[in-house]
């Protein structure tokens, strides 16, 4: 399995239950395919560096959160497809942190997570 980090910016004025559902559904996509979610980290509501147009609206603020997980590349492509069409998500990026044990341990030291 490969170690990934998902950075996601969602709409700001979501009902709390709606945001929780987004995070839960994202985690379930990974876990139902045999992956492991290591860490979820809310970064809070922040001003965006530039306005983002998504779903025929302009957004200047977004709620940012991170998810670190282990999965195979097919899970990541499915995750990308789902998040791309989700109306609650403004932007997302999946970063591959490592595939070898040495890479994962080094990434864990940089990100502050335990292996």
Question: 17-42 pLDDT, tens per residue?
Answer: 999 999 999 999 999 999 999 999 99
CATH of the domain at 10: 3.30.70.60
The string of DSSP letters for 57-72 reads EEEEEEEEEEEEEEE-
Among 6-10, 14-18, 67-71, 92-96, the minimum mean pLDDT is found in: 14-18
Count of domains in the chain?
1
Question: pTM for the full model?
Answer: 0.82
Q: How far is CA 80 from CA 45, 64, 74, in A?
A: 22, 17, 10
Residue-range definition of the domain harbouring residue 48: 2-112
pLDDT at 105: 62
Contact 37, 30 (CB under 8 A): yes
Round to whole Å and give the CA distance between 7 and 52: 16
Round to whole Å and give the CA distance between 42 and 63: 8
């Amino acid at each position: 399995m490969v170690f990934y980090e998902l950075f996601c910016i969602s709409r700001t004025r979501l009902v709390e239950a709606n945001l929780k559902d987004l995070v839960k559904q994202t985690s379930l996509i990974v876990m139902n395919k045999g992956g492991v979610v290591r860490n979820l980290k809310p970064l809070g509501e922040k001003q965006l560096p530039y306005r983002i147009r998504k779903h025929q609206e302009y957004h200047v603020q977004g709620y940012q959160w991170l998810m670190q997980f282990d999965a195979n590349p097919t899970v990541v492509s499915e995750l990308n497809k789902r998040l791309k069409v989700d109306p609650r998500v403004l932007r997302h990026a999946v970063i591959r942190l490592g595939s070898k044990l040495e890479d994962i341990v080094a990434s864990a030291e940089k990100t502050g997570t335990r292996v």
